[in-house]
């Protein structure tokens, strides 16, 4: 369910939007092109979180992670009104923050996950800047938005 609603369905619909001419490319280079894919992500992420929070056997950290994804997509949509924030950085900010929170609260959380998340986030932000897809403020703003959303999800769903 998680893979279908957070990766497969949003990617498939984004591909269809591109093939049907609603977006010029899969890169979603303009703020306007991002609107439909972000709305689709918000719907699917909300669905995944809402279903998972109502099932008994779903671990609380997964519910927190899914709520964080929904909040990140919502923040991306709101931020997209004002600037072309890095969607990659929003995701990486959420990943690093989730890893920090898990490291601090769960003694069984793998110790290698936080350094790996930091490396991936750093490489992602660097790639966005080197490719000149974003200005530094758009990347740093994305990291901050992702972190704030994941902290909010941690306390709301915890």
Give the residue from 28, 46, 2 showing the smallest Cα distance to 153: 46
Tens of pLDDT, residue by residue over 42-73, are: 999 999 999 999 999 999 999 999 999 999 99
pLDDT at 72: 96
CB-based contacts of 157, cutoff 8 Å, min separation 6: 49, 53, 60, 63, 64, 67
Per-domain boundaries in the chain? 2-157
pLDDT at 145 over 90: yes
Summarised one tens digit per residue, pLDDT across range 74-127 is 999 999 999 999 999 999 999 999 999 999 999 999 999 999 999 999 999 999
CA–CA dist 152, 14 (Å, integer)? 27
The CA-atom distances, in angstroms, between 75 and each of 27, 31, 42 are 19, 14, 10
Reading phi first (left if > 0) and then psi (alpha if -120 to 50, else beta), residue 28 is in left
């Amino acid at each position: 369910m998680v893979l279908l609603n957070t990766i497969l369905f949003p990617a498939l619909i984004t591909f269809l939007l591109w093939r049907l001419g609603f977006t010029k490319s899969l890169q979603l280079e303009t703020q306007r092109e991002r609107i439909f894919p972000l709305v689709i992500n918000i719907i699917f992420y909300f669905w995944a979180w809402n279903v998972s929070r109502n099932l008994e056997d779903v671990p609380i950290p997964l519910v927190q992670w899914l709520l964080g994804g929904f909040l990140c997509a919502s923040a991306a949509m709101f931020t997209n009104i004002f600037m072309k924030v890095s969607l990659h950085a929003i995701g990486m900010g959420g990943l690093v923050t989730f890893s920090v929170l898990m490291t601090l609260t769960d003694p069984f959380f793998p110790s290698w996950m936080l350094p790996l998340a930091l490396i991936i986030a750093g490489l992602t932000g660097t790639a966005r800047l080197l490719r000149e897809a974003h200005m530094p403020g758009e990347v740093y703003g994305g990291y901050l938005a992702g972190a704030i959303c994941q902290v909010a999800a941690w306390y709301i769903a915890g």
